[in-house]
Structure 1
């Protein structure tokens, strides 16, 4: 089993750590200082769920040198997907399975347009993980869960077998599109509102209209998904709203808030712009999403 991971950030680094604990032939794609750190110190993970792990897999900035792979995990931000996937094209054979582990709902079409062969198994991951200044990975919380699915049952089962090990709970989704949208709906509210107010989720919810805006962002994303034909359960908005308001971690922020506050490239288009365009396509009003987007763009 030849496995490759590209995008060794919080999510990709964590997945790679679980894979390295169970497979001998894992190749990480990294560049510059990240590559140097992986080669000298190894892949270091500090995890509430998986424990402390250090692995020393192969690391390359030239994916083509690793040859054809069995499974490739692409764990990058949406704006880097085209470049990351293009770089690993020489590693994708007819039977290679590519698993994009990204936010949003647009990545599948982008991957399909780039890949000339191979198979795609989609995913939606729930994890709180980030890489630190020393390039180690810090995972917080007692969970790391990934949903996978595709029209190819054999490919999906193969990815399940590869991933389902201690440290990562893997579930084959009955409908992966629903799982992708369930997570997307939450991100459209959580990421956007924390970025809009430049604060934690607790700080955002404590604003005069914070709770109402959070629920409205959830509802707008849900309405767009339903209009687009996604068979979402009726209780998605209520469930997400109650879960976040009942969370013990009100100091948590979001990747979008952190990136925008630091002046870095962000996934604002993934969490807000793409939703607004789809809303316009289906004639769904999304006033709160548009207000936040215009303030952040």
Structure 2
């Protein structure tokens, strides 16, 4: 991957952090952006304020909203919300040919299949990311905590070969980005999805940080119930999650996460923006129904949050 063309599509909290790190450490980095964000980065660079990395300002080789002008990429990191995925995939299609590697860092399950169906070419990896970051009104990126971990594996392979995972891992490590190759990427994706279906929902309902949830005994009981329901659906679908995953994820929230952290779902609902409630609770309820299962706690919070 050395010297290859790399484009980050979506420069919010996740894509912005990755874009800044890649452009700071490597050459030949491109940004796909629109509107005021595009103009701000073109004029001022992409600014990062990170507990781990300090303050950085990075400039890409090119930033544009015109995929044809940027031409075909070797690697695309796709970091957008689900509600804009179809539009974005259509827009970036000119940047993709059969050899292009696409890493879709979206929440939810079944993402790589969806991206491959929308674009119809390239090598789409299964992937996920753990990070606590967001962008402010000036499009600067704020990263809290000490981690940014990307996990990758084979999804819709397209023209993929067995060396691609190692090549991607080595590339990201050159930009000081941790990358883990998963033997069972489906289980890894579901593990994060289970956490999101519980943590994102509970923080949104209470408009709370992790620290707030820890002080709320009722919220902790509800969080545990949400975790149990989502794990039950995963097991019914034969996903190879661990036997004690509910307890492991509960302990992660109660003892390991940053107290000041909250979910992007909560931030979006508070700001009145489009959000991913349907990707979490909505999709989970669909999957449970297909398995003839009832998940009443998930249903309660889904209905309450939809009112907002």
TM-score category (smaller protein): over 0.9
Residue-by-residue CA offset, 1:220-262 (whole Å, 9 max, x unaligned): 1111111112111112111111121113633322111111122
Partners of 1:165 and 1:223 lie apart in 2 by 39
Partners of 1:20 and 1:227 lie apart in 2 by 43
Aligned twin of 1:106: 110
Q: Does 1:67 pair with 2:71?
A: yes
Q: Does 1:150 pair with 2:139?
A: no
Matches within 5 A, 1:109-120: 109-120=113-124
Q: Does 1:37 pair with 2:46?
A: no
Residue-by-residue CA offset, 1:43-87 (whole Å, 9 max, x unaligned): 111112222221111100111211111000110011111111111
Deviation at 1:154, TM superposition (A): 2.2
Partners of 1:248 and 1:23 lie apart in 2 by 30
Aligned twin of 1:277: 286
Structure 1 range deviating more: 170-179 or 20-29:
20-29
Aligned twin of 1:167: 176
- Report if the CA contact (8 A) 2:153-2:182 is conserved: yes
1:237 match: secondary structure: helix
Deviation at 1:205, TM superposition (A): 4.6
Pair 208,24 (structure 1): closer, same or farther in 2 beyond 3 Å: closer
Task: Tell me the C-alpha RMSD between the 2 structures.
Answer: 1.5
Structure 1 stretches of at least 4 aligned residues deviating more than 6 Å after TM superposition: none
Residue-by-residue CA offset, 1:251-297 (whole Å, 9 max, x unaligned): 32211111112211110011110011001101222110000000111
- Report if the CA contact (8 A) 1:46-1:53 is conserved: yes
Aligned twin of 1:89: 93
Q: Does 1:7 pair with 2:10?
A: yes
Unmatched runs of 5 consecutive residues or more in structure 2: 156-160
Partners of 1:136 and 1:8 lie apart in 2 by 10
TM normalised by structure 2 equals 0.92
Partners of 1:228 and 1:269 lie apart in 2 by 19
- Report if the CA contact (8 A) 1:147-1:173 is conserved: yes
Deviation at 1:41, TM superposition (A): 0.3
Partners of 2:257 and 2:302 lie apart in 1 by 28
Aligned partner (choices 248, 261, 281) of residue 270 of structure 2: 261
Matches within 5 A, 1:211-226: 211-226=220-235
Aligned partner (choices 124, 128, 132) of residue 124 of structure 1: 128
Partners of 1:188 and 1:243 lie apart in 2 by 14
Deviation at 1:91, TM superposition (A): 0.8
Aligned twin of 2:259: 250
Q: Does 1:185 pair with 2:186?
A: no
2:258 match: secondary structure: coil
Residue-pair matches, total = 297
Unmatched runs of 5 consecutive residues or more in structure 1: none
- Report if the CA contact (8 A) 1:124-1:146 is conserved: yes
Q: Does 1:138 pair with 2:138?
A: no
2:152 match: secondary structure: strand
Deviation at 1:161, TM superposition (A): 2.0
Deviation at 1:171, TM superposition (A): 0.7
2:240 match: secondary structure: coil
Pair 185,55 (structure 1): closer, same or farther in 2 beyond 3 Å: same
Deviation at 1:204, TM superposition (A): 3.6
Residue-by-residue CA offset, 1:143-185 (whole Å, 9 max, x unaligned): 1111111164222222212212353111101111111111111
